[in-house]
Amino acid sequence: MFYVLPVLIFIGFIFFTATENPPSEIGSDPKYVGVNSCVGACHKTESQGSQLSIWESSKHANAFKVLQTDEANKIAEGKGFTTPAAETPECLKCHTTGKTVDASAFEETFDITQGVQCESCHGAGSEYKKLSIMKDKQKSIDNGLQVHSEGEAFCTGCHNSESPTFKGFNYAEMWDKIKHPKPASE
Ligand code: HEC
Ligand code: HEC
Ligand code: HEC
């Protein structure tokens, strides 16, 4: 019995330090900056992994534009919405970046028509995009970069039966279509 209390305190301490995020280290709330700012001179070269062209040729880059089609408007109408699909928040939330956050979270370079873009998956980039920070993965994470070791669970946040056109989701197959790793050596 004597041992129980210190153990509980220790667990509580771990939990507290693990969940406490030091906001003081982040200068200001990260803002969405758009694909061009993410790519800069970096994420487009072959030696870095050609993230730009892989994304551009994926359907994610088209996810907003697809809402501007007659097909999308019909789907929205069928669901009982009275606004065009591209203006319906219930559609935008999976088809664009940051629809659920305040307008102040966007820098001028942000472009809604880029659909599901780098920051939809990696988090708002204003604080981690600097080369000096990007070079260091841990520093980037401290400044808002999101990495997704959980893969599938992250994708199914959008790829689920709430999507009116849901066709199922095979993670391995789908990841293969959009994967864009940094090559092991440069
Ligand atoms: C649909 C979600 C999604 C989009 C869109 C996306 N990524 Fe990723 N990205 C991932 C996932 C998942 C991984 C693998 C796990 C991780 O490192 O986060 C990854 C990995 C990476 C890596 C490799 C990290 C490493 O250490 O190997 C880089 C670099 C990267 N993404 C940059 C980009 C850039 C730049 C864009 C936009 C042009 C982009 N990503 C768009 C989900 C996405
Ligand atoms: C923010 C929401 C969102 C997230 C997160 C997301 N997706 Fe998507 N994904 C979409 C939307 C919307 C489309 C459809 C775009 C279109 O058809 O124009 C799509 C389409 C795709 C397609 C094209 C499907 C086809 O028929 O060729 C693939 C592949 C894909 N996603 C893979 C992934 C993977 C893998 C992840 C996780 C790493 C992921 N997605 C995370 C929203 C998302
Ligand atoms: C829960 C996330 C989510 C919501 C909400 C959502 N979509 Fe999608 N949408 C997707 C994904 C993921 C895809 C890729 C196909 C799929 O569902 O597997 C997609 C694909 C599409 C496509 C491309 C056609 C196709 O068959 O691939 C259209 C058009 C579309 N959605 C319209 C809409 C409209 C209109 C709304 C609002 C009424 C909406 N979506 C709401 C996630 C979503």
d(CA 173, CA 169): 8
**52: pLDDT strictly greater than 80:** yes
pLDDT at 2: 52
pLDDT at 5: 53
95 compared with 39, residue with greater pLDDT: 95
**43 CA distance to ligand 2 centroid (A)?**
20
14 compared with 93, residue with greater pLDDT: 93
How does the average pLDDT of the chain come out, rounded?
87
For ligand 3, say whether the CB of 158 is within 6 Å of any of its atoms.
yes
d(CA 47, CA 15): 40
Residue 15 pLDDT class (50, 70, 90 cuts): very low
**84 CA distance to ligand 1 centroid (A)?**
31
The average pLDDT across 51-63 equals 97
The average pLDDT across 113-120 equals 96
- Where residue 144 falls (left for φ over 0; alpha for ψ -120 to 50; beta otherwise) is left
d(CA 38, CA 1): 55
| Nearest residue (CA) to ligand 1, atom 3 | 121
For ligand 3, say whether the CB of 62 is within 6 Å of any of its atoms.
no
**22: pLDDT strictly greater than 70:** no
For ligand 1, say whether the CB of 32 is within 6 Å of any of its atoms.
no
